[in-house]
A and B are shown apart, each in its own frame.
Chain A
Amino acid sequence: MEEQTPSQNNWLKKVWFSVRIPFLAIILALLVGAIILLVSGANPLEAYWQLFKGAFGSWRNIQRVLEKSTPLIFAGLAVALGFKAGLFNIGAQGQLLLGALMAGYVGFAVKGLPAYIHIPLALLAGLLTGAVFAAIPGLLRAYSGAHEVISTIMLNYVAINLSDYFSEGPWKDTTPGNIVSRLPAIQPSAEIPNIGPVPVGFIVAVLTSLLIWFVINRTTFGFEINSVGLNPHASKYAGMRTKLLIVAAMVVSGALAGVGGAVETMGVVGRFQPGFNTGLGFDGITVALLARNNPIAVILSSLFLGAMKGGANTMQFYANVPNQIIDIIQGTMLLFVTAEMVVRWVFKLRKQRDTEITVTSGWGQR
């Protein structure tokens, strides 16, 4: 087969084409971070080395990275699935928060169950809460045309206030001496265990990613989701129930976000406490964009973000650098991934496929 080499080359090229923008965006963001470190008087190499050590320096550190990555994978999958259907689920944050709350409630309030029932039950509580909460913007979008970006942003506030209310009110931790608004600690039977340094939640997250990949790429439901996301008119023409699909995509997206919140409660924090999951849903947007909505790549981008979060404290301690630098890098990365143009310009990349310019202007204007 003489064609084998070029086709293999093509395959490599294809992979490079699909990863180059996020990859180069990460490099650019790290460079921007380095400049900021330099300006603020720190040694960027030292800081990044400590960041790396903090993330992967010991089994304990690796475990922390995996723990941090777990909810990120779920949040990233939630956002990515939304994008596939042409929906921008900014509400992943709110769905995740309520998922964390309900898992926290089932985690402490239901007593006397064995772990193998209690854990799935609490996860299910998170899943259903996220799904139901996401169904609201889904229905609004499908049947009244209210844009999900607006409605989910507003529902995020509803979620924050609901969780504040329950943490301060009916479900408040009443242990003597507690003045913080939070839920009681979950039962040991609801805590997600580890196998060696690997949290079971992480394994579930990886399996979920594979499942979502399969659903998107190999099932009729995935075909419909992709079609609606890419061309809703053609989907309607093809007889797909586009409105129902929008609701379904939102519900699945919300379910994933809800599970993300549940694993955070049950695997990392140990109880629901408002403020502990701030921004996880938003991190999901970064994860999804970095992964270009590919569920398998979501695992990698979550690990990357998780490593930065996991290593941040070590960096702060040993390199004497405020860990907010991580937020700056993450923000810059997001900026570069979304502003593809900038990355192309810096690295002088050409688009894979250029389309002919279409002229729409008329008399005397462009």
Chain B
Amino acid sequence: MKARHLSIIARKEFRGLFNERTILLAVLLQLFIALFSSFLMVGLTSMYDPSSLSKYSRYKYNIAYAGNDSALLGYLESSPDINSPRDFRVYRMDLSTAVAALKERKLSAVVYVPDTSPAADEPVKITLYTLTNDLQSAIVDVKLKDVFLKYEKDLRQVRGSRLSEQPVPVRIPKTTGGGDFYEFVYGLLIPLLVFMPAIIASALVIDLITEEYQHETLETLISTPITFSEMVWGKVLACELLVPIQAGAWLLLLMVNGIAIENAGLILLQVVVSSLILILLGALTALHYRERTAAQFIFSTALVVVILFVLALPSNPLNLLTRLAVGTAGPEQWIVLGATGVIVIVLGYLTQKYAERVGKSHHTG
């Protein structure tokens, strides 16, 4: 195998990408996803942790209190802690009127409390009326939950003598805000975004190889001094080179967005090595089927299987990306890298053998 031949093929593929301006589309796509995911971040973060929403509002909510007196009324009327203002303006109302007002959005919630005594055998059942599925009621619910939890603690104390076991106590001070986006950004967004170029590259290698078959340009290519396996490896090389470029661009975009990423170099190294597994799998599928529809179908199904399997393994490469980005990866990263490397070598050997066999049959046949 000659390095010059590989670079000829790789350069040919790059020229193709630039001529067709497909590369432009890839850049556009990246920008689009970047913009969109920052929009998504607001949505997804609130999905992960809706309590982060309550920070955004310093509004006092009107709620109605119906039914019997209880300690809950006092909690609703007082502020959550000394420094912050009260969350609610509470009105004593008749239940039917209150629910009608809620429907007209003149209230944010209605609480009904029965006359169960705190020390009774049966539980206290409070009925809470809120608005269906909207942003504002999400915030109100978060605030109400805190109040209910306080009241629950009270009641538990009253009934404490009836409990047989107490949990191991850990006192957790009140969180000071921040850290909401963290797990989503580092534990999901970064590994997925950084790994996406590997998936794109592996789909691309299928396109490049099947194209030679289906456009019947293969014979011309093999009649040059370039061998069949050199052609395959040249295409693999071209796709592989795209990975660090795109993944690096992601990291840069994230950093520009103010997301600090540690070990960017090591992250790229991991991505480059593990992406080779996908690209070689793609190449093998393409060599086997020689037809795009079938190859892409089988490959994308296989991709789901492989990624699901990898994610189910502890300290998998994707997890390593997360740990590298937050800076808690230890020396085990080199073991993972080594294991990935071994798989790459095995797949590389298979690809080489398969390509040689296909190449021979082309020359004889």
Co-complex (A, B): no
